[in-house]
């Protein structure tokens, strides 16, 4: 027979699921449930504590317990059908919410006055010292004076687009395709932006030299590890050569190393390591490997740019969330971050391996994929005349969510046959069936329905 506290939890979950208790509804008092279930008040408190831990309810001192939000049953038919190759946040099962909650509480106790007042515009100094140690594991060696805490990598990228650079140049060069958030920053600020094609084999370095030499490039934006959307990673030799070209033609490099923690090869070095004096601006986000809601990233800049970057930071938001900074400081000091990274590295490597195996097994001839060793993203290159936009629409009808990579190109470079798959939030057991649906949709658009005995009903 189920324990009384489990019975109480089950009933409350059912009432929230069927709408009897809506968001914000007050729950019965401890005494009332104690009488109703013929149990002790401690048993009711245990049930309420478990529901709080599951983030379904919350307590208001001297008032009672309330429903946090709508509860979705694990047996919800639509939720179970959805195959999520679209979401690009961290695996929700791997997010360290409980660990970080403790760090927030400790930060408030330890840094009260500092966290709830105006803080250093460059970032909480104690956190900067911790980040210096953390970055050494990624082969980025610098000092706290060159390191800034920013409100997510997006803020740093937005500011760098508009900032004047020491080389006095005006234009931007970016890989094609690339992270759409950077494209948006460039387009909205009306920056003159050039593209250079990146393939699964890498860049044409002769073309890169030509672009550096002839197009007044102030900086080259690159995602050298686990590229978004291709999943491509440069070899050390290629990274070293790109830095040499930047030195030769007086071009800065903005290195977005957002998933560097997931690299299984400790010998892979960031571009920053080939010119730590200041040619490479290094940006590292915590959004993908940890908690996106923190809105924290770090940027390492050359000394020549510190004053200008500080002015732009002040103009943007004065300083990034002090509470988030204090909590991250404690999280890094405690060693919990290193343990978290060790766990998630295995999670994403396993998922990426499963996705590539499923693609090899199910995708038809004429379809090709990129082959990253880890990271979040894999690109499917569709057969001729199969449009990714049409694929996304058809897949959605089958509860498979994927992304058309067309938005990851500058308008003049766009390609319409690339489908981006993210493994970060898809359930492992759904990867195979999701890829099967992708294969069926490709066949349908090629007019080859007869190749499949089990066809998507909504496509017929």
Please report the domains of the chain, with CATH numbers, ordered by start residue: 4-67 (1.10.10.10), 97-334 (3.40.640.10), 338-459 (3.90.1150.10)
The predicted pLDDT at position 458 comes to 47
The predicted pLDDT at position 454 comes to 46
The predicted pLDDT at position 276 comes to 82
Alpha-carbon distance of 308 to 329, in angstroms, equals 26
Alpha-carbon distance of 365 to 95, in angstroms, equals 37
Structure token digits, residue 430: 């759904």
The secondary element (H helix, E strand) that includes residue 80 is helix 77-81
The model's pTM is 0.80
- For the chain, give the number of residues: 460
End-to-end CA distance of the chain: 49
The predicted pLDDT at position 448 comes to 65
- State the burial class of residue 31 (Cβ atoms within 10 Å of its Cβ: 0-12, 13-18, 19+): exposed
Block mean pLDDT (10 aa), the chain, length 460:
79 83 85 89 89 79 74 52 89 79 84 73 92 94 95 95 96 97 96 96 96 98 96 96 97 96 91 92 90 88 95 87 87 88 91 97 95 94 93 94 96 94 94 96 80 45
The predicted pLDDT at position 451 comes to 47
Alpha-carbon distance of 380 to 397, in angstroms, equals 19
Nearest alpha-carbon partner for 325 in 119, 91, 98, 159: 119
Alpha-carbon distance of 365 to 385, in angstroms, equals 14
Nearest alpha-carbon partner for 142 in 152, 132, 150: 132
Helix 125-136, helix 322-334: angle, nearest 10 = 40
């Amino acid at each position: 027979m189920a324990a009384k506290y489990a019975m109480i939890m089950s009933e409350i979950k059912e009432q929230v699921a069927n709408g009897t208790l809506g968001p914000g509804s007050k729950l019965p008092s401890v005494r009332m449930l104690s009488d109703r279930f013929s149990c002790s008040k401690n048993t009711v408190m245990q049930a309420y504590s478990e529901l709080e831990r599951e983030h379904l309810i919350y307590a208001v001192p001297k008032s009672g317990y309330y429903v946090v939000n709508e509860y979705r049953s694990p047996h919800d038919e639509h939720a179970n059908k959805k195959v999520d190759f679209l979401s690009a946040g961290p695996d929700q099962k791997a997010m360290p919410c409980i660990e970080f909650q403790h760090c927030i509480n400790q930060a408030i106790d330890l840094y009260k006055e500092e966290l709830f007042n105006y803080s250093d515009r460059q970032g909480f100094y104690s956190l900067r010292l911790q980040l210096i140690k953390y970055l050494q594991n990624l082969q980025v060696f610098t000092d706290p004076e060159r390191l800034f805490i920013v409100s997510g990598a997006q803020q740093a990228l937005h500011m760098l687009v508009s900032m004047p650079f020491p080389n006095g140049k005006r234009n931007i060069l970016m890989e094609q395709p690339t992270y759409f958030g950077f494209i948006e920053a460039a387009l909205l600020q009306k920056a003159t932006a050039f593209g250079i094609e990146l393939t699964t084999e890498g860049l044409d370095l002769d073309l890169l030299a030509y672009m550096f030499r002839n197009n007044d490039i102030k900086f080259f934006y690159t995602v050298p590890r686990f590229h978004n959307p291709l999943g491509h990673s440069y070899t050390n030799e290629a990274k070293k050569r790109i830095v040499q070209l930047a030195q030769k033609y007086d071009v800065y490099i903005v290195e977005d190393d957002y998933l560097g923690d997931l690299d299984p090869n400790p010998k892979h070095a960031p571009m920053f390591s080939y010119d730590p004096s200041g040619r490479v601006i290094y940006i590292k986000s915590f959004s993908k490997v940890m908690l996106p809601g923190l809105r924290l990233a770090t940027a390492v800049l050359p000394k020549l740019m510190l004053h200008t970057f500080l002015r732009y930071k002040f103009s943007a938001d004065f300083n990034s969330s002090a509470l988030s900074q204090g909590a991250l400081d404690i999280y890094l000091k405690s060693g919990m971050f290193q343990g978290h990274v060790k766990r998630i590295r295995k999670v994403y490597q396993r998922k990426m391996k499963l996705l590539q195996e499923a693609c090899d097994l199910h995708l038809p001839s004429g379809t090709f994929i990129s082959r990253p060793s880890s990271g979040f993203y894999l690109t499917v290159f569709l057969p001729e005349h199969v449009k990714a936009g049409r694929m996304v629409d058809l897949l959605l009808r089958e509860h498979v969510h994927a992304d058309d990579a067309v938005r990851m190109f500058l308008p003049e470079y766009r390609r319409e046959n690339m489908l981006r798959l993210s493994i970060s939030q898809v359930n492992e057991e759904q990867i195979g069936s999701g890829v099967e649906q992708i294969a069926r949709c490709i066949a349908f658009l090629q007019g080859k329905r007869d190749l499949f005995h089990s066809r998507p009903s909504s496509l017929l």
